[in-house]
Structure 1
Amino acid sequence: MSDHAFATRAIHAGQAPDPTTGSIIPPIHQASTHVQDGIGGFRDGYEYNRAGNPTRSALETQLAALEGGAHALSFASGLAAEDALLRGILKPGDHVLLGNDVYGGTYRLLTKVLAPWGIETTTVELSDADEVAAAIRPETKIVWVETPSNPLLKIVDIAALAGIAHDAGTVLVVDNTFASPALQQPLSLGADLIVHSATKYLGGHSDVLGGAVVFADDRFYDQIKFQQFAVGAVSAPLDAWLTSRGIKTLAVRVRQHSENAQAVAEWAASRPEFETVYYPGLASHPGHEIAAAQMSGFGGMLSLALSAGPDAARAFASSTSVFQLAESLGGVESLISYPSDMTHASVRGTALAVPENVVRLSVGIEDVADLIADLEQALEKITR
């Protein structure tokens, strides 16, 4: 499928009709084990569901095709994918260079779970090449990138950072959750590995948890797959099937997410109630030109800083009706969250703390006039 366009790959890669019945949708192989043709005689390599499952294999083929990768592995959650990647590459004494605006769960995993194991983490401004180069140590094994970042939508030049990382002998990992492969292809820009929370845009319907690691080549595949097998945080057959189903509409969904978010961002930029609109699709965004060069669209995520401060931000986040107050993102429905107390509570009191006047929007695919009207009524409610 590598010679087909993205939308075609999203629908067809790994999704061949069932050879027995001709079902256009591959079946869910809801089995925990597989009968062997004699001891060690695995049928198509399948032995036990933790080691491999046909439904999960179909999803992994689909994921690799989406990102232009050599391989992919599917996990029970995005954090399970991150954990397997980190444990598969790192050993005690190693160092990870992390952006200064990242998902709170990633920071928690590195600093609370892996730090006692002997992993060190440094946070830097990844858009500053000099700062990145100065922060890389001999023991630095991974440079970890989110672009756009969560929740302040910072943009990192992936190709430039890949050059710095590779010159230093380190691995570049890109979390592509916010952009999704529909908008950004980090492997083609020099990244070595991609991670996803498949719960978000890939699944797209807020009905499944999942995670993924996608590999540029064979390097690291065996050791991370071993972590997947040995620890067992794999996606269940139904979860893999739901994610595959969601991916088939990824191209058209993300196009509408991006269109709606651009309109909401432009509306918000015209309102004095917001001191900052964090959205790379605005020409005023400091990363706009880089985002325009390495992305085919600007995505459905944006954040807003309320001019009136933290209390106004909390009240605003609790005053919408079409935008539902919830964590997560990337579903067809619009969500609003207050990162400081919700998705990023784990980084409060650190250099990564989210400003307390910021709310985050996951702009869905509803009618955009209804979305803007909902935000307008929320502003009216908190300014009465």
Structure 2
Amino acid sequence: MSDGFATRAIHVGQDPDPGTGSVIVPIYATSTYAQDGVGGLRGGYEYSRTGNPTRTALEECLASLEGGRHARAFASGMAASDVMLRAVVRPGDHIVIPNDAYGGTFRLVDKVLRHWGVEHTPVPLSDVDSVRAALRPNTRVIWCETPTNPLLNIADITALADVAHGAGAKLVVDNTFASPYIQTPLELGADAVLHSTTKYLGGHSDVVGGALVTNDDELAQQIAFLQNSAGGVPGPFDAWLTLRGVKTLALRMEKHSDNAERIVEALLNHPKVEQVFYPGLPTHPGHEVAAKQMRRFGGMVSFTVAGGEQAALEVCSRTRLFTLAESLGGIESLIEHPGRMTHASTAGSLLEVPNDLVRLSVGIEDGADLVADLVQALG
């Protein structure tokens, strides 16, 4: 893995097709594969739920970008999350989750796994002592987001790995907000990395997907078994679209980060903005840790608006270039109200988000245009 990130993003798992010379990995739109005699598999493929060459190319590339030996692609980030937890958690076990976790993760843990006897405790992952205090003898997983969604809190991956492993648990890091270009949790001690590849990896808001990456051979076998058994796999066109997006990830993340920093500066100076959440700010409580484990600070920005929920909703409705929509990580800029949209499932819980919070997914448009759009929306 001596090649640089951008080189690996374009080449790993993506050699020219040996039959035709096609420079781009083909879309293998097939459900089954001819065998040379019973059990005589060509290239190891028998059925596309189990394996597909386009998906294999994506998985090999993602493993390389995260510095892992094994990667598995899924039909969505939540499908990947479900398999990850079922690979290591059994009825009666316990999970530690962030106290500001993504709403979909909280819904899976609280509304689905809880009914199968899996307990969970939300804690601020930036406070290692609180994490340690939340551990139980039956804790199997510390589930980490860093930065978190939508408050952009930062967790020290190396410190959490030490805590998890001291308790005999796994550390799983949702690396969706950062992307492997900005952060590689396996190198910091994580046991597995999760992605919603829908976001920065795909990068064009045109495909839904997920992925798991690990260096743990035993865990990789269990993930592969569940991927095939449960069947939540991406189709070949989805895998191809994601792989196409990955090729420009390095370029896009630099522009996302540049634009986000420009927007943060404008928000800090605006009288109608009460607080800005961005790990690149020296005043951010996790800035020192973020600077240590992240290459850049990413394209996600959140802020609170003077005037409460109604004022936040009005800002979301007045933008011209920022599209009011859920999701994130695409080339276009998005704005949303987490309390009413992506994090509505946390209402009334310990994970409920502030009702005056606005979340931005900063795209790669001209930065000056984006700043002007926000200023007029706030005005």
- Aligned counterpart, 1:153: 152
Q: Distance in 2 between matches of 1:157 and 1:320?
A: 35
Name structure 2 gaps, 5 residues minimum.
none
- Aligned counterpart, 2:296: 297
TM-score, normalising length from structure 1?
Answer: 0.98
**1:367 corresponds to 2:366:** yes
Q: Distance in 1 between matches of 2:35 and 2:288?
A: 55
Q: CA deviation at 1:219?
A: 2.7
Q: CA deviation at 1:223?
A: 1.0
- Aligned counterpart, 2:197: 198
- Aligned counterpart, 2:73: 74
Q: What SS does the corresponding residue of 2:318 show, helix, strand or coil? A: coil
CA RMSD of aligned residues (A): 0.7
Instruction: Output the amino acid matched with 1:265.
Output: V
Q: Distance in 2 between matches of 1:307 and 1:156?
A: 28
Q: CA deviation at 1:118?
A: 1.0
Q: Distance in 2 between matches of 1:318 and 1:207?
A: 23
Greater mean deviation of Cα atoms: 30-39 or 60-69 = 30-39
- Aligned counterpart, 1:268: 267
Instruction: Output the amino acid matched with 1:196.
Output: H
- Aligned counterpart, 1:241: 240
Instruction: Output the amino acid matched with 2:288.
Output: E
Q: What SS does the corresponding residue of 2:217 show, helix, strand or coil? A: coil
On the 8 A contact 1:266/1:282 being kept in 2, the answer is: no
On the 8 A contact 1:201/1:331 being kept in 2, the answer is: yes
Q: Distance in 2 between matches of 1:20 and 1:47?
A: 19
**1:102 corresponds to 2:101:** yes
**1:25 corresponds to 2:24:** yes
On the 8 A contact 1:89/1:224 being kept in 2, the answer is: no
Q: What SS does the corresponding residue of 1:97 show, helix, strand or coil? A: strand
**1:219 corresponds to 2:202:** no
- Aligned counterpart, 1:45: 44
- Aligned counterpart, 2:3: 4
Q: CA deviation at 1:22?
A: 1.0
Name structure 1 gaps, 5 residues minimum.
none
Alignment of 1:331-350 (within 5 A): 331-350=330-349
Q: Distance in 2 between matches of 1:362 and 1:198?
A: 15
Q: Distance in 2 between matches of 1:31 and 1:176?
A: 31
Greater mean deviation of Cα atoms: 42-51 or 251-260 = 42-51
Q: Distance in 2 between matches of 1:48 and 1:87?
A: 23
Q: Distance in 1 between matches of 2:184 and 2:87?
A: 23
- Aligned counterpart, 2:127: 128
Q: Distance in 2 between matches of 1:221 and 1:26?
A: 24
Instruction: Output the amino acid matched with 1:66.
Output: L
Residues 13-51 of structure 1, C-alpha deviation per residue, up to 9 Å, x if partnerless? 111111111111011100011111112221111010100
Q: CA deviation at 1:228?
A: 0.7
Instruction: Output the amino acid matched with 2:58.
Output: L
Q: What SS does the corresponding residue of 2:303 show, helix, strand or coil? A: strand
Instruction: Output the amino acid matched with 2:240.
Output: W
Instruction: Output the amino acid matched with 1:322.
Output: L
Q: Distance in 2 between matches of 1:88 and 1:171?
A: 11
Instruction: Output the amino acid matched with 2:129.
Output: D
Alignment of 1:158-197 (within 5 A): 158-197=157-196
Q: What SS does the corresponding residue of 1:219 show, helix, strand or coil? A: helix
Residues 262-284 of structure 1, C-alpha deviation per residue, up to 9 Å, x if partnerless? 11011101112111100011111
Q: CA deviation at 1:362?
A: 0.1
Instruction: Output the amino acid matched with 2:340.
Output: D
Q: What SS does the corresponding residue of 2:218 show, helix, strand or coil? A: coil
Q: Distance in 2 between matches of 1:53 and 1:321?
A: 41
- Aligned counterpart, 1:252: 251
Q: Distance in 1 between matches of 2:89 and 2:168?
A: 14
Alignment of 1:310-325 (within 5 A): 310-325=309-324
Q: Distance in 1 between matches of 2:23 and 2:287?
A: 41
Q: Distance in 1 between matches of 2:58 and 2:209?
A: 11
On the 8 A contact 1:202/1:250 being kept in 2, the answer is: yes
- Aligned counterpart, 1:117: 116
Q: CA deviation at 1:233?
A: 0.4
Q: What SS does the corresponding residue of 1:195 show, helix, strand or coil? A: strand
Q: Distance in 2 between matches of 1:375 and 1:302?
A: 12
Residues 218-273 of structure 1, C-alpha deviation per residue, up to 9 Å, x if partnerless? 13111111111111000100000000000000000000000000110111011121
Q: Distance in 2 between matches of 1:369 and 1:158?
A: 34
Q: What SS does the corresponding residue of 1:74 show, helix, strand or coil? A: strand
On the 8 A contact 1:334/1:365 being kept in 2, the answer is: yes
Q: CA deviation at 1:106?
A: 0.3
Q: Distance in 2 between matches of 1:121 and 1:318?
A: 36
Q: CA deviation at 1:216?
A: 2.1
